[in-house]
Amino acid sequence: MRANRAKLVVISLGLTVGLLGLVVVSQQAFAVNDNQTRTEAILLSPTSKQYKLDAGTLQRDSFKIVNDGQTAFNFVVYARPYSVTDESYTPDFTSTVQNADAYKWVQFDKSSYFIEPGKSVDVGYTIRVPATAAPGGHYGVLFAETQPSASIEGTAIIRKKRVGAIVYATVNGATVIDGTFVGAKVSPFQFRAPLEVRQRVKNSGNTDFEATSNVRVADIFGGLKFRSDKKVTILPATTREIVNDWQDPAWLGLYRVDTSIAFNDTNKTSTHYVLLVPLWVYITLGLLIGMRALYAVVWRRKHKK
């Protein structure tokens, strides 16, 4: 009996120690998770800057950085070229194409800053336009990037966060604003979500302009199911595909799609009808029709005999 009681005491002590260990581990895990939630969060406003400037002049301006997180951090500011690589406007911050040179004109008041949680900082800069700058559009991007604190520089992974504002600078002079509507792409038969609605605009001038795109999707009874309103910038010597896809339509439906696009003196509208049916429905119908035809052939041969 005494031996059994001793065993029970040992087991009870073991369970107690195990539970205490779990509590300690849980508390440590909670502390780690709580520490991980105290992340850096950097915001920049506004996300774009537009200027009309004369060659040989300078322009003072600033943007605002907000620390929306729970930890203080250092950040640096710098400028880079801005261009796009395809019709979906994938940004390129490294290629120095001819009109992606506005970043060279930017001089920041300071290169680095420190910001406390819940605070904001105004980052001042000067744009100095060269006297030889060609008329038309010039582009760049202003970046603010967090820097790792001294306490984590020795760790294996160092995360940096970067936000930016695109600079659209037009140098006054012989500017040409010219664009054409290439067309709307709305396939009448679509097989899966999203329901794709695309418009394409080409800029054949030497400076950027804005295009306003509107899309309305209704069911066969006229009920509005989806709408999209966008205002986008078209860079010179590029064609932009404006995407207004409906991400979550019903898996089966017949829809009326009304599109409109407006820019400069151009205003285009169009109406399209889209049958959204999954591909497996067509395959199933094809198999059923094929089986019915095969059955008819077999039945005829059987009764001819």
Supply angle C-alpha 163, 164, 166, rounded to 5.
160
**Percent share of the chain, pLDDT over 70:** 84
Candidate from 73-82, 109-118, 144-153 with smallest mean pLDDT: 144-153
Res 3 pLDDT > 70 = no
Whole-number Å distance between alpha carbons of 136 and 98: 11
With respect to residue 6, please indicate whether it lies within any of the assigned structural domains: no
* Residue-level pLDDT at 282: 67
Q: What is the pLDDT of residues 46-68, one digit of tens each?
A: 999 999 999 999 999 999 999 99
Candidate from 20-29, 195-204, 231-240, 286-295 with smallest mean pLDDT: 20-29
The H helix count followed by the E strand count for the chain is: 2, 19
- When divided into structural domains, the chain yields a total of 2
Closest CA to 49 of 125, 118, 110: 125
Res 121 pLDDT > 50 = yes
| Domain identity same for 70 and 161 | yes
pLDDT band with cut points at 50, 70 and 90 for residue 179? very high
* Residue-level pLDDT at 27: 33
| Domain identity same for 167 and 77 | yes
| Residues present in the chain in total | 305
| Domain identity same for 95 and 130 | yes
With respect to residue 221, please indicate whether it lies within any of the assigned structural domains: yes
Provide mean pLDDT across the span 122-138.
98
* Residue-level pLDDT at 281: 77
| Domain identity same for 128 and 241 | no
* Residue-level pLDDT at 7: 43
pLDDT band with cut points at 50, 70 and 90 for residue 158? low
Please give the helix or strand (H or E) that residue 305 lies within, else none: none
8 A C-beta contact, residue 27 and residue 147: no
Provide mean pLDDT across the span 121-137.
98
* Residue-level pLDDT at 162: 96
Whole-number Å distance between alpha carbons of 26 and 264: 62
With respect to residue 91, please indicate whether it lies within any of the assigned structural domains: yes
Of 125, 148, 171, the last residue of a domain is: 171
Rg of the chain over Cα atoms, rounded to whole angstroms, equals 31
pLDDT band with cut points at 50, 70 and 90 for residue 262? very high
Whole-number Å distance between alpha carbons of 36 and 66: 20
3-class secondary-structure state, position 181: strand
With respect to residue 13, please indicate whether it lies within any of the assigned structural domains: no
With respect to residue 61, please indicate whether it lies within any of the assigned structural domains: yes
| Domain identity same for 53 and 87 | yes
8 A C-beta contact, residue 164 and residue 143: yes
For residue 111, the tally of other CB atoms under 10 A from its CB is 8
Domain that holds residue 276: 179-280
Whole-number Å distance between alpha carbons of 137 and 237: 11
With respect to residue 296, please indicate whether it lies within any of the assigned structural domains: no
pLDDT band with cut points at 50, 70 and 90 for residue 20? very low
pLDDT band with cut points at 50, 70 and 90 for residue 151? low
Cα–Cα distances in Å, from 87 out to 90, 92, 234, 237, 241? 8, 13, 10, 11, 5
Q: What is the mean pLDDT of the chain?
A: 86
8 A C-beta contact, residue 274 and residue 195: yes
- For position 96, which CATH number holds? 2.60.40.10
Of 171, 205, 232, the last residue of a domain is: 171
With respect to residue 208, please indicate whether it lies within any of the assigned structural domains: yes
| Domain identity same for 250 and 229 | yes
DSSP string, 217-282: EEETT--EEEEEEEEEEE-TTEEEEEE--BSS--SSEEEEEEEEEEETTEEEEEEEEEEE--HHHH
* Residue-level pLDDT at 196: 98
